[in-house]
Chains A and B, each alone.
Chain A
Amino acid sequence: MQASTETVFLYPPTPLSARCYSHAKVETDEEFDARWVTYFSKPDIDAWELKKGMNTLIGYDLVPEPKILDSALRACRRLNDLASAIRILEAVKDKSGPHKDIYPYLIQELQPTLTELGISTPEDLGMDIL
């Protein structure tokens, strides 16, 4: 048996960029938003795609940006579905949870679209109370 003259490192010193973390590319917030805006902007989006998109989006641990919601509301318009548009507004209000300032901000940002498309908020219709 010969003694080895090489020193063996169990954990070779690696530069930061080569650490053993997942090499998956992390999507930025802007990329996420853009992806969803594109999804809902599909001109011939169908009802199933709208449902699937909204249900998935609401499943995420975030409140969607106004631009995504704008795209979704316009998709509702293309599908002649006012009820779903109102439902989406209810859903994002619920998603905000205890952060009561998010929903008014969203409505403020979406107001031009809401006025343009004629979408009334649940509050306008008195549906925000029991």
Chain B
Amino acid sequence: MCMLHLTTGRVGCLLSKQVVVALTSSGARMSSHGHHEVSDSVDMSQPMYWDRLDTPLPDRPWKDVLDSTDKSLKQKEKGPWTALSKEEKIALYRLKFNHTYPEMKRPSHEWKTVIGGMFIFFGITGLVVFWQGHYVYPPQPHTFGEEWQAKQVQRMLDMQINPIEGFSAQWDYKNKQWK
């Protein structure tokens, strides 16, 4: 009974929390797809871009279509790099690459969704198990009752069940109590 209350409470507040998390995380994912890549399928016959820690240089640059500012920057890149300002260097990097290594390695909050989902399912299972115990199981056999159990223990002791190392070995026959 006590456990059920805990479960429902946990499910209840987790449910609302997980809904919020799911909305925000999927919202963030959707907006990150706002670049010029095709929306439904990728043309695998063309060189692809990727951000991979183990493969630093992808087959094509991030930004293929360069406007006039980008083009003039690329021209400047042909000259000495000492002439480039920090902003220009960063801009050149961002033309060629999408995420920096730290951005690739940024932590996601997926584990919270996973653990939360796990607990939700535990909770649902707990509810199912409780309902089942209440509505499905037949009545307990009479041999489970307190009185019967007491008589059963007494009988086992009288029969000296496992008198050396087991059950009756734990009973102090002299003083009529457990050792």
Contact B78 A120 (CB under 8 A): no
Residue of A77, A91, A126 touching B56 (CB-CB under 8 A): A91
Contact A58 B56 (CB under 8 A): yes
A87 to B98, CA, bound (A): 11
Q: Which residues of A contact B77 (CB under 8 A)?
A: 80-82
Within 8 A of B (CB), among A64-110: 77, 80-84, 86-88, 90-91, 93-94
Q: Which residues of A contact B58 (CB under 8 A)?
A: 51
- SS class of chain A's interface: helix, strand, loop or mixed? helix
Contact B93 A119 (CB under 8 A): no
Residue of B59, B89, B101, B106 touching A82 (CB-CB under 8 A): B89
Contact A118 B86 (CB under 8 A): no
Contact B103 A51 (CB under 8 A): no
Which size class do A's interface residues fall under?
20 to 34
A34: Cβ under 8 A from any B Cβ: no
Within 8 A of B (CB), among A39-77: 50-51, 54-55, 58-59, 77
A81 to B93, CA, bound (A): 9
A112: Cβ under 8 A from any B Cβ: no
Q: Which residues of A contact B61 (CB under 8 A)?
A: 83
Interface residues of B, Cβ cutoff 8 Å to A: 53-59, 61, 74, 77-78, 80-84, 86, 89-90, 92-93, 95-97, 100-103, 105-106
Q: Which residues of A contact B103 (CB under 8 A)?
A: 130
Residue of B57, B83, B100 touching A127 (CB-CB under 8 A): B100
Give the most central of A83, A117, A122: most B CB within 10 Å. Answer: A83
Contact status of A93 and B101, CB under 8 A, knowing A55-B57, A58-B56, A80-B77: yes
Contact A118 B54 (CB under 8 A): no
A47 to B103, CA, bound (A): 25
A125: Cβ under 8 A from any B Cβ: yes
Q: Which residues of A contact B97 (CB under 8 A)?
A: 83, 87
Contact status of A127 and B81, CB under 8 A, knowing A51-B57, A58-B56, A91-B101: no
Residue of B83, B95, B102, B106 touching A83 (CB-CB under 8 A): B95
